[in-house]
Structure 1
Amino acid sequence: MALLDTPQPDLSLEELRFLVTLAQTQSLTAAAGKHGLSMGSASRRLARLRGIFEDELFVRAGLQMLPTTRMRDMLPRILDLLTSSKGLFSNDTFEIASVKRTVRILGVDNAVMTILREAIVRFAKAAPNASLEVQPINSEMLELLRSGRADLAIYPLKNVPKDFHMLELYRSRCGILVREGHPLIALYTEKGRLAMEDLRAYRQVSMDFSGAPEFSTAASGATGQETAVSMPYFLAVPYALMDTDYTFIAPVLTLLHFLRDNRYGLRMLPAPAEVSPFTPCLVWHHGTHSDPFMQWVRGVVTQSARSEAKRLGALEAD
């Protein structure tokens, strides 16, 4: 009773849905349109929500409205709340534990050990009758999602078609993976940093995902280095570095997992400032947007990905 007696902010489900839409579209104009609001009404609604949560919630970056750390942390709980609220207006009882279906996720191999690691455990406990199927990223990604042959994709996109939704999972710094004793280690110790021209003296291991140029570029760091080995498998990279002077640039979150295994004898160095942070996103088609089970799955994946990133301290500073 004490909780019920405590004054609570007067929030509506529609206002929470507005926050979710704004997080997904990163556009106040798009969010206003989807909720039938004028720009003035949308601005006033955002101002009211900022006051309630005592946080900016979204900050403008060019043409985008990017969620603050507080908003990113709240989003999985808001999605869970909206999913739970659907039960109040339905005669059907939705029990996650009884669901028997396969969730198909498009991603690359390092997504399992980073973004999906904790999510798989939570999924197994809460939905024991359902299953996960991870499929490789390819040029048909959007069509697979649109046709229902896949449910989610983990992919670093900057924008999506109007019939899709996208949610930024986190932003990770990038690092340079090299063997112990690599000349770049001594150079970094001497200079305190590495520049692009330092890297160009060495050839690199790069990622090549067929039909997915955005992922290939982001994964290999876009440093202008010559490529020595090109492959579509993150987990095979250490074997190309152990006994060579090749380098590999990737998100810190991925590289930290490689450093855990002493068999490889690898070191991680900070990437030059010009290397952009890596921002994986969760992408899904509007056809599954209101599916209660998929809303729960998206919440689990989002919360688990951000938890893993925070645990390993791999996030880019806001």
Structure 2
Amino acid sequence: MVDPFTLDFAALRCLRMVHDLRSFSRAAESLGLGQSSVSYTIARLREVFGDPLFVRQGGGILATQRCIDIVEQVSQMLDEFEALASPRVFDPGTADLVVGISCNFYERVTILPQLTRMLRRDAPGIRLNIIPSQVRGREQLKRGESDMLIGPIRIEEAGYYRRTLFKDDYVCIMDPENSLATQSLTMEAYVATPQVVVNYGGTFRSQFLVELERLGQVPNTVMQVPSPANLPDLLASTDMIATVPRRTAAVFGQAVTVVECPVQAEISIDLQWTPRTHVSVAHVWLRSKIAEASSRFAN
């Protein structure tokens, strides 16, 4: 038996990473370690806990129930220790750190440009690692792949902090030559018109779709795409329309015509994070800057 008191936080963090990623190699890459180091660490943990922790299943690995229980109990301890070890003094002008932010197209074109200008002016040593969240923001936060999540998908379970940044509503966009571009859209015309729907690459449903379902209406969806980034190109010279947040439409400028959407629905953009960074003075400062960069959108 290995003396459990010879273990350190690095070993427990390694266990959590293998558990979350379900892969020794991906955990090694995420932690910046060799795969042999991860294998050795898991072997020691197996001896300490008297359990295989992971078993082979098909082409991957599956955590045992004992492993699941251990990770659940040590996760809060790891987050609290990281928060405890974070510096209590922070000078933006001399700060040197990397912060991961999960977000999607909407947040990248609304919040990040202003935030970037603020950081280059006040904290040039802070480097941002922007990763697409799609519908995986919660998992990215939990695994430590990102430090913050910005977007409309709200994490309801305990253990996450949240701050609402601003709200937006929906409009319809279309090619300027579309016959609907010069008239108000009725609900009847709206649901009948061929529409490109942005599904954000997962199971997330935009609020206008939720509201349509509540009203017993079904849009004439002829195409689904994971991102609104190239909607102007898709809509060009067609009879199709797309429903997007108003501030997304503004980014496209004269490439599209904007018409008020007959569906009354709202999108809420939230900033979310975990206890791991909650008391970090650097992250507290950065979250305040994100809120400041978003303030021009707040009603």
TM bucket normalised to smaller:
0.5 to 0.7
- Name which of 240, 244, 265 aligns with 1:250: 244
TM-score of the two chains, using structure 2 as the length reference: 0.64
State the match for 2:28 in structure 1: none
State the match for 2:280 in structure 1: 291
Q: Which runs of 5+ in 1 are unaligned?
A: 1-89, 189-193
Give 1:164 deviation, angstroms: 0.3
State the match for 1:127 in structure 2: 123
1:5-154 matches, within 5 Å, as 93-154=89-150
Mapped to 2, the partners of 1:129 and 1:289 lie a distance apart of: 21
1:236 aligns with 2:230: yes
1:225 aligns with 2:216: no
Q: Could you give the per-residue CA deviations for residues 52-98 of structure 1, whole angstroms, max 9, x where no partner exists?
A: xxxxxxxxxxxxxxxxxxxxxxxxxxxxxxxxxxxxxx996421122
SS in 2 for 1:163: coil
State the match for 2:31 in structure 1: none
Q: Could you give the per-residue CA deviations for residues 261-310 of structure 1, whole angstroms, max 9, x where no partner exists?
A: x4x2x2111111x3311111111112211111111111111111222x26
Q: Could you give the per-residue CA deviations for residues 212-253 of structure 1, whole angstroms, max 9, x where no partner exists?
A: 514xx2487864312222222222111011211111111111
Q: RMSD between aligned alpha carbons?
A: 2.3
Mapped to 1, the partners of 2:105 and 2:187 lie a distance apart of: 27
SS in 2 for 1:234: coil
Mapped to 1, the partners of 2:272 and 2:258 lie a distance apart of: 30
Q: Could you give the per-residue CA deviations for residues 182-208 of structure 1, whole angstroms, max 9, x where no partner exists?
A: 2223431xxxxx332211121111112
Q: Could you tell me the percent identity over the aligned residues?
A: 20
Mapped to 2, the partners of 1:221 and 1:116 lie a distance apart of: 28
Mapped to 2, the partners of 1:300 and 1:282 lie a distance apart of: 12
Matched to 2:286, the amino acid is V
Matched to 2:232, the amino acid is P
1:156 aligns with 2:191: no
Q: Which runs of 5+ in 2 are unaligned?
A: 1-85, 213-217
Mapped to 1, the partners of 2:172 and 2:166 lie a distance apart of: 19
State the match for 1:52 in structure 2: none
Of residues 128-137 and 219-228 in structure 1, the stretch that sits farther from structure 2 once superposed is: 219-228
State the match for 1:203 in structure 2: 194
Mapped to 2, the partners of 1:297 and 1:201 lie a distance apart of: 45
Contact residue 206 and residue 220 of structure 1 kept, 8 A: no
Q: Which has the higher strand share?
A: 2
Mapped to 2, the partners of 1:91 and 1:138 lie a distance apart of: 32
Contact residue 160 and residue 166 of structure 1 kept, 8 A: no
Contact residue 102 and residue 146 of structure 2 kept, 8 A: yes
SS in 2 for 1:104: strand
